[in-house]
Every structure is written in C-alpha cells, then in structure tokens.
Amino acid sequence: MYLGLSFQTTHIDTAVHLGGGEFVLPAKIPLAGLTQRDIGAAITLVEAHLRPYGPVTAIGALYTPDIAPIDQQADSLTLTLQATLNAPAHIATPAEALGLYESRFGVATNSHLTCCLYLDRRLSGSICFGHRLWRGANRLVGRWGHLPLAFAVEEEQTAAPCECGRTGCLEGFVSTTAIAADYHRATGIFLDINAIARADRQDLVASSVLQILDDRLGRTTASIINMFDPEVIVFGGQLAALDRLYTNLPRKWPGYLLAQRTSTKLVKHSSTTRLLARGAACFAEAVAST
C-alpha cells in the first residue's frame, strides 16, 4: 500500500492508496507543533492507524504552504518517516500531488498533458503526461514561483526584492500574501484574500486588486500554454476558490497566445476529501515505480 501524508498546521491528513482507484482514509492525526519531537509523535500515531492495512510500500508527504518552504524541512521529515514507518519516503510539492491525483482520478483523467498551479501563500506547479508526472533531469519542473512574471510591465519589473534575492518573481504577484500586500499598499489596511474577495463589489480597491490578479494570472497561464500547450490547466490552493478566475482568465489569453485560439481548459481542483493526502499517496506510488 502507498501512504500519503499532508502536513497541516494543526493535524496530518492521511490517505492510503491500495491500487487501482481505491483509497482508504485513516483518521486525521493531531499535530501539537512543528518540532521534530511533535512530528515524530504524530507519525507514531499514524503507524498505529495503518496496522489494519498491512505494510507500507512507500510514503509520499508534503507540507502545506502555511508551514514552510518544502526544501527547508524535507530531509529531516524524510528521515523521520523512514525510521518510524520502515518504508522509503518521498517529499512532494502540493502541485505535484494535486497534478497526479487530478490526472489519474480527478478533473483531468482524459488529458494527455495537464499543467497544475497550486496558488496559495506559496506557488508551485506540475506537469503530467497522461497519468505520469514529469519531474525533469534536475527535479526543477514546476518550481515556477521564482521565475519572472510573464509579459511584465515596467512597475512589475522594478518590484521589491523577493526572499530568494531576485526581483519580479511570480510568487510575489500571484500568491495570497502578494494580494494582501497589494491591498495594504493602497489602503494601509491588512485584509486576507477571503476578505478581499468578499469586499469585491463594495470596495473599489478590492475590486482593482482582483482585476490585477486576473490580468497577472491570465498572462501566467497564457505563458504556460505557449510553452507546453496543455489540454487542461488545474488550479489548486486558496486562490482556486475564486470562481471569477475560470471566466476572466481565458478572456485574457488572446492578447498573449502564439495561436489565435486555444482549446485548453482551465478548471478547479476536485472537491474530494483529503485531496492532497490522496495526491501524496499517488506520488509515493509514482516515485516508487520509477
């Protein structure tokens, strides 16, 4: 069996892939904190819930964007998982997990080429050929958050430096923190993305911030189409909940596409229980089979 773990701020979502399209969902595991001791204790509880299903073949795990950049804790998490559960462990990004699940069992099952963008506090992407995840020679596929924003205008080219040391990074324009920062610069008030979305029709600044987001994500997805020509682009993360994107972004594409028209579909992720944990289990199976 293949185990998927999605580390949230207060708990761990678990999913077990038994093969085919069958998943079981052991209990959510409480997570007291993010120290190694806290994580080790939680994984011990995971092991107890897995006993009825037999030995673990491989483990896929991911951190949600609110916890930490994946590279900062990947090695320690891998070692803890392998030592406790006695199986090889592999760390995924949210977009890799989401892309694999959607291409195999979700909204992109009939797509020959699927691109996924996970749009949250941080940004990650993935590409699947059919049901297979493409990771690349250097495992850099989908690490798009620190690439430049496509078709940037002058003020975007001189944006504030990113934490990576560059300027103009995509994550600095189309993440939840970037949108909140845009609103704060204009008003001096801190609102999160949910509050900004609710204020759209009553607040001119909120409306303007969301229109700018439409344009920037329109350019971003048009650039993805120009590079990869996918049949489906799947959105995940907090920004995927903005229904306006699925209408407004395709309207932006004609000004940036290399072709006059496109049949690419832009869709929201599946509304499936413990979606990222299921995707992490798919990731465990995919990596173990390569």
Return the DSSP state at 25.
Answer: -
Asked whether 80 and 36 are in contact (CB, 8 A), the reply is yes
pLDDT of residue 68: 54
SS3 at position 167: strand
Q: Are 23 and 60 in contact (CB under 8 A)?
A: no
pLDDT in tens, 125-170: 999 999 999 988 988 899 998 888 999 888 888 777 777 778 888 9
Q: Which CATH class is domain 2-93+272-288?
A: alpha beta
pLDDT in tens, 27-67: 899 988 777 788 888 888 988 888 888 889 999 999 876 66
Angle between helices 70-85 and 36-50 (to 10 degrees): 50
CB contact set of 104 (below 8 Å; sequence gap of 6+): 21, 131, 282
Predicted confidence (pLDDT) per residue in 230-258, tens digit: 999 999 999 999 999 999 999 999 999 99
Share of the chain above pLDDT 70, in %: 97
Structural domain 107-268, CATH architecture: 2-Layer Sandwich (3.30)
What residues pair up with 100 in beta bridges, in sequence order? none
155 burial type by CB count under 10 A (0-12 exposed, 13-18 middle, 19+ buried): exposed
CA distance 262 to 205: 32
Kindly report the pTM of this predicted structure.
0.92
Q: Where in the chain is the domain with CATH 3.30.420.40?
A: 2-93+272-288, 107-268
